């Protein structure tokens, strides 16, 4: 087994793999930043439509005879989409402020 001359604790193959993994993570992070900049934001209408669909789905789940399961699923869904609900509230507030400021 070959060892890196800088660190005798890490074999060259493993050290190379660590560097490669770090490079891939850096590239992935840059790709995410690029996607975030390039993709258009959701509109308030799109958020309202999406959240209405989620509510409709949860109403179906609530009809499940296993209340523990349906409650668990609905709580999980609500927790996972809370960031979108917050975004919707922020957008509604900005819309109200813009409308109030233009009167």
Sequence ranges of the domains in the chain? 1-39, 44-101
What are 74-102's pLDDT values in tens digits?
A: 999 999 999 999 999 999 998 888 887 76
For residue 50, list its beta bridge partners: none
Number of H helices, E strands in the chain: 3, 0
And the tokens for 98? Answer: 């813009």
- The phi and psi torsions of 30 (rounded to 5 degrees) equal -65, -40
Q: What's the whole-model pTM score?
A: 0.57
């Amino acid at each position: 087994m070959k060892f890196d001359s800088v660190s005798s604790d890490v074999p060259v193959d493993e050290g190379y793999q660590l560097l490669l993994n770090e490079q891939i993570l850096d590239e992935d992070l840059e790709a995410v930043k690029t996607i975030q900049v390039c993709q258009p934001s959701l509109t308030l209408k799109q958020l309202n439509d999406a959240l209405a669909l989620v509510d409709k789905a949860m109403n179906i789940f609530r009809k499940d005879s296993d209340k523990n399961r349906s409650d668990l699923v609905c709580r999980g869904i609500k927790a996972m989409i809370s960031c979108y609900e917050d975004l919707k509230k922020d957008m509604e507030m900005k819309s109200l402020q813009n409308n109030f400021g233009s009167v």
